[in-house]
Amino acid sequence: MPRRSPLALLPEAAPAPDAEVLRLAEALIFAASRPVESAALAARLPAGSDVEAVLAELRRIYLPRGINLVRVAGGYVFRTAPDLAAALRGDAPEPRKLSRAAIETLAIVAYHQPVTRAEIEEIRGVSTSKGSLDLLLETGWVRLRGRRRTPGRPVTYGTTPAFLEHFGLDAVSDLPGLDELKGLGLMDGRLPAGFSIPMPSDATALHLDEEPLAEGPDED
């Protein structure tokens, strides 16, 4: 009985996605104003298309180019290659600068969401001006989530998909943890004993201690 070649035992390579399917997926992602989720892409591609294979092939094709296909905010979008950022600096519109108070507030919302204004002030140790939260709401990086099921029913805050897009995150859980922040030199090495950073979550579903916003979003 003839011996079979070891190569015959290897699984066959998956066929490359059809060129026209690749072109259509490329056009859909390019034309979209927001990151395109896999499910939305599958609904627009021919029936039976392997969406993950299409995305993988597009990532491979664009990897050495001036723009790359990246995953942010749960979807896919074309972005300038990171190594070209310095060469393009000055061409993009200058983003609105945030005050230190607004930056601190944004960080607290990102890591502690859902969080109320009173909780933000407790963490910061100072009063939070209404202007800081208003600015973050205006930029579209922070949203009103719901109301806490506690006396006074204070409004809770959380981040938005626009926040993820701006900072190139697929999910809030991709934010750096304490060890990473220390490694980047962003945290003082002399931290209080027991100091920790919570594991952030951007789950859209309301928590058990929250309820939907019913009427006008009154401040707490």
Query: For 103, how many CA atoms within 13 A lie in the half-sphere containing its CB?
Result: 5
Report the share of the chain in percent with pLDDT over 90: 31
Rounded CA-CA distance 85/184 in Å is 20
**Residue among 12, 25, 20, 13 nearest 54 (CA):** 25
Per DSSP, the three-state class of 145 is strand
Instruction: Check residue 46 and give its pLDDT.
Output: 92
pLDDT at 58: 95
| CATH 1.10.10.10 domain position(s) in the chain | 18-82, 100-211
Name the helix (H) or strand (E) containing 162.
helix 161-166
Q: What mean pLDDT value characterizes the chain? A: 80
Residue type present at position 11: P
Orientation angle between helical segments 130-139 and 100-112, nearest 10 degrees: 70
Q: Give domain 18-82's CATH architecture.
A: Orthogonal Bundle (1.10)
Question: With respect to CATH, is domain 100-211 assigned 2.60.40.10?
Answer: no
CA angle centred on 98, ends 179 and 125, rounded to 5°: 60
pTM score of the predicted model: 0.63
